[in-house]
Homo-oligomer: A and B are copies of this chain.
């Protein structure tokens, strides 16, 4: 169990203990939804303005609360940032897992890379896509323990790319070293969060096509 899960679970336990009843009561559900609203608003504001430039008052106002109320749900502004990053990475990993499992077991390395790239662009640029950009750009504001937790999730996510890149490298479709290629490829894709505009001339499918052409000469 990750440290973040531990801390999230203990926070829930603390609220349960305070009320002295099991989870999933109507009130527990309301509270959990309210908590999620705060996380989503924080993700959006952290992305738009940056962590340091976003006040907890901004976040409170975005969900119609008073200035001190977010601290009923999160013990600090940094804990809220950590939750945004942790939840974002968990969802991204789950999405990547589903995408890979939907492929047949004899899928080519090119097909695998296409699925990984397409899913990553979805996670990065699709609907509700504030979490990963925050994760990418706000590392420095995490404590050492929070940093280690998010890094572990990120490593697990990126590790799924390595066998695919290694196969492409052996087949000479990918000429660079797989480890450096991974860093460059993530850089290229992640940067699109800075310039891509949904609804513009390029769909996510077309963007994935272009990435495949650039990295693996794919057609």
A residues adjacent to B (C-beta < 8 A)? 48-50, 52-53, 137, 140-141, 174-177, 180-181, 183-192, 194-195, 202, 207, 210-211, 213-215, 217-218
Contact = CB atoms under 8 A, between A and B. Distances in A.
A87 to B, nearest CB: 22
Contacts of A195: 183
Contacts of A49: 140
Nearest to A215: B214
What 8 A-B pairs come out closest when comparing CB atoms? A187-B191, A52-B52, A175-B213, A184-B188, A176-B214, A188-B188, A52-B53, A187-B188
A217 B214 contact: no
19 contacts: A48-B140, A50-B52, A50-B140, A53-B141, A176-B211, A181-B214, A183-B192, A184-B191, A184-B192, A184-B210, A184-B211, A184-B214, A185-B188, A185-B214, A187-B190, A187-B191, A187-B194, A190-B191, A214-B215
Among A188, A195, A217, the most chain B Cβ lie within 10 Å of the Cβ of A188
A-side interface mostly: helix
A209 to B, nearest CB: 8
A186 B192 CA distance: 10
A189 B192 contact: no
Given A52-B53, A53-B52, A210 B191 contact: no
A184 B184 CA distance: 9
A210 B180 contact: yes
Contact of A174 (B141, B174, B214): B214
Contacts of A191: 183-184, 186-188, 190-191
B52 A210 contact: no
A141 B48 CA distance: 11
